Structure 1
């Protein structure tokens, strides 16, 4: 980062753990130490396996594992004892200078974990976790969060099967597009169900649900028309009618999805993408944008993307689910996965980076998503990415972190127009943010909505119970 770069400055402060009533403070005190402790536990299990391994590299790998555990334990200590965010070491992977240059501009007080800009500190944390692995010889390709992603995917079987059967049925229909231009058409109703399923799929964010029992997932993954109707009441800003009207203007267009969580949420992203490609005349191609390193526990890396499709064809994967899938249900998953692999082969589904991109791999634009930058600064720091996304018929930003980055994680008044909060990004592309509320920042609400919900539920900003769907159209230049 150029230290003189004129980044966008919101007219309101960004959230920080300095405010002990904020979710940022709760994150520093509870969530981050819990996440780091889980990584240490995972590494301890892996190193334990090495004791009985016959791998010729096991001794060296074991020593590296022990040193990694020490580094992570030190990081927990720093957070809890007034430590500072220190410069990242050069591990020859992307996104070192962007963090270090900004840190160099801060005062010693600003660099303290207890006072730092929360958005920066959280992004920095995951880049620093990555560095613990990238500076090793034997652990560079190890994703410390994969086992959690895998377990939650398996635990989501009920919702996975339900959506597979619903979408397979839609794909087989020949009358779905009849009269789609009229209000309340079957295609519109199907679209609303698919996109709401994609919205609420974000409820399984592992970075936020670190203490959630897997059996509670079913309550967070309600699908079906009746459940969707009830959940729609919890969408505090709902621009879906605008999104639908925009979609109807497209023909054979491209849609981009800036991904959030792996596992069930990624599955719902694929469901929505398949619906758009297979059931509507609007979209011929969907481009998915993953992260380049393990990020915010459950975010999608390239391996997660192909694995989530391939594993649907492995009948043994869900065999330990309770209850296990029936032969009919397994067949519905196989039909779905086979169609998705066909979409990959034809180019209807694409990843924005090569499918075999390794963790930490350098790509022209893929690394931007793991910088600390708010998306308001995307036109300045990643103009080629903005230009590319501007070619898309619609860019879908998934989840809470993407929303926080879209509006800079600032303490905007809740009635601030969404386009105002987007700053320089507004008007550069057709974008919609699908976000369940899991952090304090929010904008775009009608007058009185925040006060009404606050009176009913003090945790409405962070609980994931409520959502916002915010649309911003591209300006015609």
Structure 2
């Protein structure tokens, strides 16, 4: 009988296959190890540490008191389980909608089941097998990682990897290549938000006509905060469960209360104003309007020489007319965007987050910018594939416009009678009921569809947004996208994932300014707006966290407080000790901008000059 070497480990029951061959499996990949069960002694030190994320380190599942660990252990597996349940429960409907087979459904279920098992057991990443340039780039990123395991790599990389693998499962299927595992959840989220959409639509139509400077500023900041609170509607945070806006007291309405009241997002903004810890939204308005006005003047001045040049050409053509029958008028030309130092028109960019009510709020803000002639064009950057459950895709964007244009909603809400006045006063008749309807929502939806058709609203879906690359690396890794973003008045980044990538997934020091946290990413003025759902942040006033923590140690988990920061001031937090999601509303502004110069790296698809307004190589990307 052979004697086991000193220091070696005995094989556990779970280490033996059916043919009795022992597998040298890493103990740290087993569920009982990750979930804190009975620990098995191993030779190498454990990669898991029972602490929150230390300052200046990246967020990852290694730290067992971090939100990253909680997310990988609990949230993502539940999301994948719901995909499996959806395929099992609605298999017949999915087959019919996509002309798929039973084998397609079974194959995708098996694929997602393996993905979930690999995640919860901290296996090594599998390489992608689909034969596309984007998949090959993913394989390069995986092979370049210091750690290729789910929990011990950067949290944002693992999350992006899981959703990209979920997409690969569809790509490998014959009949489910266009299947969105989250379409049912996103549709329900839209339908459940119809009432607040109707309320906002009724108010928005009064904001659209040209107004004086003070009213325009007030409406600008109000709509920005409507967008802020809409970011609560994140289905990835709720693990796919439907999310409703809360009332002013922070509590969800019961059925009886809901029947006697209207959920008014504008009233929420007013009621929750004291919960915004730092509010620089008015400065954001001033700076964006100043920027757009300066750009408009520069564009007008730039157009004058072109007009003179055209006049000279006309004189020349009159002196030497072309032969009869020949076309003398040349098609319009615009320079390659890589060579441009000014856009053709003043543009505003929104890097979207969630579909449903949040996308609706973004559309409202964009419509306001257009109607007040602050900008001429708004570009919406969306995800190319289904992403983080509820993120906007091109299909979601178009569906939202159509559903708004065809919305059907009406509800009468009775109002309470005022109290009796004085002695002898008889009973007072109650006022007429309030009516909430979709009339104005349909009107807005139709206008948005027209904006989409004529290029006032532009949808762009660069693959960069579904990559694990941090935004500080955009200039070197996605130069053409970076260059396009330089030709805008400002960029509004929505939601938590964008915020994490802006801060490079680093638990930066609490006193670090927003501009410092961006680490050189400054293609244009940046507005970051989110309700905080991850334990990284920058810029709270010194001592504010400690003050609020004395009042309620869980204040960061309830979404009762917000911040609106401008320029040099930014948001901060201390490391929370709980694994529940944080929901602090944040609006931050970074005004530092890299000078826009004519590039020596033109896009090969554009060439030296573009003819017409739309690039023939990128029909969805309006270059102006």
Tell me by how many angstroms 1:242 deviates: 2.5
Alignment of 1:2-81 (within 5 A): 12-49=56-93, 58=100, 61-81=101-121
**1:436 Cα shift?**
0.8
Structure 2 residue aligned with 1:471, among 562, 582, 589?
589
Aligned to 2:459: 351
1:97 paired with 2:141, answer: no
Q: How does 1:20-419 map to 2 (within 5 A)?
A: 20-49=64-93, 58=100, 61-92=101-132, 95-106=134-145, 110-171=147-208, 173-174=209-210, 176=211, 178=212, 180=213, 185-210=214-239, 212=241, 223-249=264-290, 250-251=292-293, 253-278=346-371, 280-315=372-407, 329-353=437-461, 366-419=462-515
Are the counterparts in 1 of residues 407 and 438 from structure 2 also a CA contact under 8 Å? yes
Is residue 538 of structure 2 the alignment partner of residue 443 of structure 1? yes
Cα distance change, pair 213–137 in 1 and its aligned pair in 2 (3 A): closer
Give the TM-score, by structure 1 length: 0.84
Query: Which 5+ residue runs of structure 2 have no aligned equivalent?
Result: 1-53, 254-262, 297-345, 414-433, 558-579, 596-624
- Counterpart Cα distance in 2 of 1:97 and 1:452: 50
Partners in 2 of 1:258 and 1:64 — Cα distance? 34
Map of 2:30 onto structure 1: none
Given that residues 240 and 389 in structure 2 are in contact (C-alpha distance below 8 angstroms), is that contact kept between their aligned partners in structure 1? no
- Hey, what does 2:307 align to over in structure 1? none
Q: Check whether the contact 2:98–2:179 (CA below 8 A) recurs between aligned residues.
A: no
Query: Is contact 2:548–2:555 with CA below 8 Å preserved after alignment?
Result: no
Aligned-residue offset at 1:168: 1.1
Q: What is the deviation of 1:459?
A: 5.9
Q: 1:50 to 1:121 in 2, by over 3 A?
A: closer
Structure-2 separation of matches of 1:70 and 1:116: 25
Distance 1:212 1:147, change over 3 A: closer
Paired residues of 1:95 and 1:370 also in contact (CA < 8 A) = no
2:398 and 2:238 map into 1 onto residues whose CA distance is: 24
The 8 Å contact of residues 232 and 245 in structure 2, kept in 1 or not, is answered as: no
On the 8 A contact 1:204/1:217 being kept in 2, the answer is: no
**Bigger mean CA deviation after superposition, 212-221 or 403-412:** 212-221
What RMSD over aligned residues (CA atoms) do the two structures have, in Å? 2.7
> In 2, Cα distance between the equivalents of 1:102 and 1:391?
29
Q: Deviations over 1:194-236 (max 9, x none)?
A: 1100111110100001264556666689644442133333334
CA distance in 2, matches of 1:162, 1:120: 39
Say which structure is richer in helix: 1
Q: Is the 8 A contact 1:205 1:298 kept in 2?
A: yes
- What TM-score do you get using the length of structure 2 for normalisation? 0.65
Query: 1:203·1:464 contact (CA, 8 Å) conserved in 2?
Result: no
Task: Provide the rounded CA distance (Å) in 1 between the counterparts of 2:589 and 2:285.
Answer: 11
Please give the secondary structure, in 1, of the residue aligned with 2:530. strand
Indicate the residue corresponding to 2:525 in structure 1. 430
How many angstroms apart in 2 are the aligned matches of 1:463 and 1:74? 27
The aligned residue for residue 12 of structure 2 is none
For 1:109-144, what per-residue CA distance to the aligned partner results, in whole angstroms no more than 9, with x for missing partners? x22222121011011111111000011111011111
Question: How big is the shift at 1:411?
Answer: 0.9
Deviations 1:446-476 (A, max 9, x none): 2123333344243616645312211112436
Structure 1 residue runs of 4 or more that deviate by more than 6 Å after TM superposition: none
